[in-house]
Amino acid sequence: MDAALDATATQFELNEDQRAIQDMTAAFAAENVAPHALDWDKERYFPNDVIRSTGELGFGGIYINEDVGGSGLGRLDAVLIFEALAAACPGFSSMISIHNMAAWMIDKFGNEDQRQRFLPKMTSFEWMGSYALTEPGAGSDAAALKTKATRSGGNGSDYVLNGAKQFISGAGESDVYVAMVRTGEDGPKGVSTLVIPKDAPGLSFGTAENKMGWHMQPTRQVIFEDCKVPAENLLSGEGDGFKIAMAGLDGGRLNIAACSLGGAQSAFDKALAYAHERKAFGKTIDQFQALQFKLADMETDINASRMLLYAAASKLDRKAHDAGKWSAMAKRFVTDTCFDVANEALQVHGGYGYLHDYGIEKLVRDLRVHQILEGTNEIMRVIIARHLIGK
């Protein structure tokens, strides 16, 4: 059997530790997230304390090295965690994903001083992290970012930043911002990465965006106005920022796909239960073949998504040469397919699916943005095609 197919075929055979991770996460989410998710959504309430409490479970540094307090788990382990959390609330799960992506960049590309300064407090969730790449005029074209960082101070001991980041999850709540800034020429070679504390002089935040979904999670602009950041907070070196950003996104794409998968599974479970209870024309609606076929397709789509996602995560764990392509394929397929599953679950509920109290319309709203962030699904197709034609 081809190695890629073999990896795919074996992914449902999770080991005992991985099943324990699933069970632990699902139990936490069922007790601490699911009962409150609809209220958080309705009130646009950010459950800061609940998110930070997951540090006790190791979720502040899921795939961060253990010497700085991380859990030292793999990417497949992380996917299992985000999937289980998202079954309770995709927005909650995605915020923990974003924090982990930011922490991983420091762990992977930071020097020892940076790792020891930032990561112990991030892995414990004493400090929450956000990732700041997108700008008002630079989304899919990430290399076109304009936020400028200029050396200043004695011997260039500081950077002074001017510009703004757009659509930053956790902005205003997070304590640390891993930001891509321009330190040199136009294009990817002029991009660098700075770790910026919330109390940096000249750092401020816009008003919370009024979004379609992810209501429990604040999204704001991050604004730099002569913002001073120590040069010692530069990750790797000047000009390495685009490489760091793209490396982080491979894992981030798997994480957000896992959030879609968990949300879709929850929507499907609700639809299946509802179809067994709801009666029309003298029998429960799950007795109608048209609906049976719809449920069969939904179940197939969920499991196809799970198999592709687990295989892609396994490739990233093994550092396979085509892991980037598989991450893009998983992100594109899973987020598209799982949104469709959630939308079909709403249809199964009929008019009740449109009501907030049933929880389906929230899942549809929450999953929609997953097709846009961590690289739009159109960009995922570009990445996949480039791998195929060798560009």
Question: Among the residues of the chain, which ranges form H helices?
Answer: 3-9, 16-32, 37-43, 48-53, 75-86, 90-109, 112-123, 241-277, 289-318, 323-349, 360-368, 377-389
Contact present, 174 and 208 (Cβ < 8 Å): no
Which region, left, alpha or beta, applies to residue 230 given φ > 0 means left and ψ of -120 to 50 means alpha? beta
Q: How far apart are CA 73 and CA 62, in angstroms?
A: 6
Contact present, 149 and 160 (Cβ < 8 Å): yes
Q: How far apart are CA 328 and CA 331, in angstroms?
A: 5
CB atoms within 10 A of CB 319: 7
Take residue 337 and report the two structure tokens written for it: 């397919």
* Largest CA-CA distance found in the chain, in angstroms, rounded: 82
Q: How far apart are CA 6 and CA 1, in angstroms?
A: 6
Which H or E run contains 204? Answer: strand 203-205
Q: How far apart are CA 130 and CA 176, in angstroms?
A: 6
Helix axes 360-368, 90-109, angle to 10 degrees: 30
SS3 call for 348:
helix
Give 201's contacts (C-beta < 8 A, 6+ positions apart): 226, 227, 228
DSSP string, 54-109: GGGGTGGGTTS-GGGT-----HHHHHHHHHHHHTT-HHHHHHHHHHHHHHHHHHHH
Query: Among all residues, which ones are annotated catalytic?
Result: 374
Residue keyed to tokens 């757009």: 166
